[in-house]
Amino acid sequence: MKTTLFIIAFLGVFALLNMYISRRYIHHLHLSAKHKRWLRYFLYFNYAGIIVYMIGRYTGDFPNWLFFLVSLPIGILFLLFCTALFYDISRLFLNAVPLVPKRREFFKKTLDISSFGLAFALSAKAIYEAKFVKLEKVTIKLKDLKQSYKIIQLSDIHIGGLIDAKFIASLVQRVNTLNPDIVVITGDLVDIKLAHAMPALHELQYLQTKYGTYFIVGNHEYFHDIDAILNAVKSLGIKVLENENVYIGEPNNGFNLAGVYDLFGYRVLHHMPELELALKGKDEASPTILLAHQPRFIEEVQNGVDLMLSGHTHGGQLYPFRFLVQLQQPYVSGLHEHNETLQIYVNKGTGFWGPPMRLGASSEITHITIEPK
């Protein structure tokens, strides 16, 4: 039921974007009625691709080449909307400036041509950027830490669609070459029916670490039978932190690693985050790292945590979307000093959701070195 409502809402939003592009962009272009009609046909065809993508995304029955083709329309439509918005504002500004008719027409045609070029260039660059998962290296100093540790953070992998067993196998191989002390996966690992996700999930059992691999749920796990996903992850030898903490390293020489359920649990009234429970019994003489999927969970952290690792935002994934993410999340990507005692690092996502497109927000594997302060 939750998945159905999400799909209906998602398709409704994109229908509105389609309408805006048609009425506020295509309608005002210096083109013949025939050419405008063909552009609208393209919008309809593009929207049909989005519908097919949503069907395939949650049934898992499509081959990868078809997933690639039908996932692109989501990104293309969003970037077209951003272009249309830019065009609309520019056109209104142009109409407000006093110009002779010929000069106004020249600038209008220039705007028409440049807007098409902008939409094409942005789409091409976004597809190209999504091909690469960058290694982001960051060093973080923590009070009361006795020695350095190497943490590899993965987040928002979104198994399903193009994120398949081959992708995960390649990711695991790359992580293993980094010789991590621990690997943490900060939510949104599975985004498809568990039966279809299992081949990819099985590849995670080959992660090689000194002190283990740890996982917390993100909001998307709640859409696909969260308990079944938790059991499947545990069966791979991965420790799931369910409002609890563990000690990493040798006694008196390591750090606390705590993890909470996602904030989405408040909406569905189960698997809700409980920070007090997650920190119960931790070693007070050692620093504490908290895994929480959404950066805005930091608003619930008053004390007892030195570093929080999050994901969820995808760094905006397609750059203009970053500004909308900032309305909901206090941090979108990278390392931030929240206050004198608490830092936060937000991973931009190791995979992607929807289109295989990234613009100004590359996918990442985060190589975190924590050091004594």
CATH code, domain with 341 = 3.60.21.10
User: Looking at the structure, do residues 100 and 140 belong to the same domain, yes or no?
Assistant: no
267-303 confidence digits (pLDDT tens)? 999 999 999 999 999 999 999 999 999 999 999 999 9
Chain centre to alpha carbon of residue 283: 32
Residue 144 zone, left/alpha/beta (φ > 0; ψ -120 to 50; rest): left
119/258 same-domain check: no
The pLDDT value recorded for residue 287 is: 97
Is the same domain home to 116 and 143? Answer: no
Predicted local distance difference test score (pLDDT) of residue 55:
81
Q: Give the pLDDT of residue 2.
A: 62
Distance of alpha carbon 51 from alpha carbon 70, whole angstroms:
8
Give which of 79, 91, 89 is closest to 116, Cα–Cα: 79
Amino acid of residue 22: S
Same domain, 118 and 175: no
**What is the Cα–Cα distance from 304 to 283, expressed in whole angstroms?**
10
Whether the predicted pLDDT of 213 surpasses 60: yes
Q: What is the mean pLDDT of the chain?
A: 91
- Which of 101, 129, 157 is at the close of a domain? 129
Q: For 193-217, what is the mean pLDDT?
A: 95
Residue 354: both structure tokens together: 């929807």
What confidence tens digit (pLDDT) does each residue in 337-369 have? 999 999 999 999 999 887 888 988 999 999 999
User: What would the 3-class secondary structure string for 306-320 be?
Assistant: CEEEECCCHHHCEHH
93 and 213 housed in the same domain: no
Same domain assignment for residues 121 and 146: no
Distance CA 220, CA 22 (A): 32
Identify the pLDDT of residue 69: 83
What stretch of H or E contains 346?
strand 343-346
Cβ atoms 175, 365 nearer than 8 A: yes
Q: Tokens at residue 216, please?
A: 């917390």
Specify whether the CB–CB gap between 185 and 155 falls below 8 A: yes
Structure confidence at residue 208 as a pLDDT band (50, 70, 90): very high
pLDDT computed for residue 165 by the predictor: 93
Q: Are residue 144 and residue 229 in the same domain, yes or no?
A: yes
Mean pLDDT of 187-214: 94
Residue ending a domain, choose from 129, 152, 171: 129
- Across residues 254-259, what is the average pLDDT? 98
Predicted confidence band at 1 (pLDDT cuts at 50, 70, 90)?
A: low
Concatenating the DSSP letter of every residue in 221-272 gives: GGGS-HHHHHHHHHTTTPEE-SSEEEEESSTTSSEEEEE---TTHHHHTSS-
- Same domain as 332, residue 263: yes
H runs (alpha helix) in the chain? 2-24, 33-57, 64-96, 101-129, 165-176, 194-202, 226-234, 265-268, 275-279, 322-328
CA dist., res. 309 & res. 317, Å (int): 18
Report how many domains make up the chain.
Answer: 2
CA quadruple 214, 220, 226, 231: dihedral sign = negative
The answer to whether the CB of 165 falls within 8 A of the CB of 200 is yes
In the block, residue with structure tokens 């952290």? 301
Cα–Cα distances (Å) from 335 to 63, 76, 140, in that order, read 38, 30, 9
Question: Which residues, including other chains, have CB under 8 Å from residue 182's CB and lie 6 or more apart?
Answer: 149, 151, 152, 209, 210, 211, 212, 213, 214, 248, 257
Phi-psi region of 72 (alpha: psi -120 to 50; beta: other; left: phi over 0): alpha
Same domain, 147 and 281: yes
Specify the pLDDT at position 59.
67
Question: Where is the domain boundary, 100, 129, 158?
Answer: 129
54-113 per-position pLDDT tens digit: 887 766 667 767 777 888 898 889 889 988 988 888 888 888 778 777 787 787 788 888
Same domain, 178 and 301: yes
64, 148: one domain = no
pTM here is 0.87
Task: Provide the residue range defining the domain that includes 48.
Answer: 2-129
Closest CA to 145 of 307, 341, 371: 371
Asked if 125 and 163 sit in the same domain, the reply is no
Q: Which residues of 167-183 are buried (b: 16+ CB within 10 A; e: fewer)?
A: bbbebbeebeeeebbbb
Residue 60 has what pLDDT?
60
> How, if at all, do strands 334-337 and 343-346 pair?
antiparallel
How do beta strands 255-259 and 288-291 pair? parallel
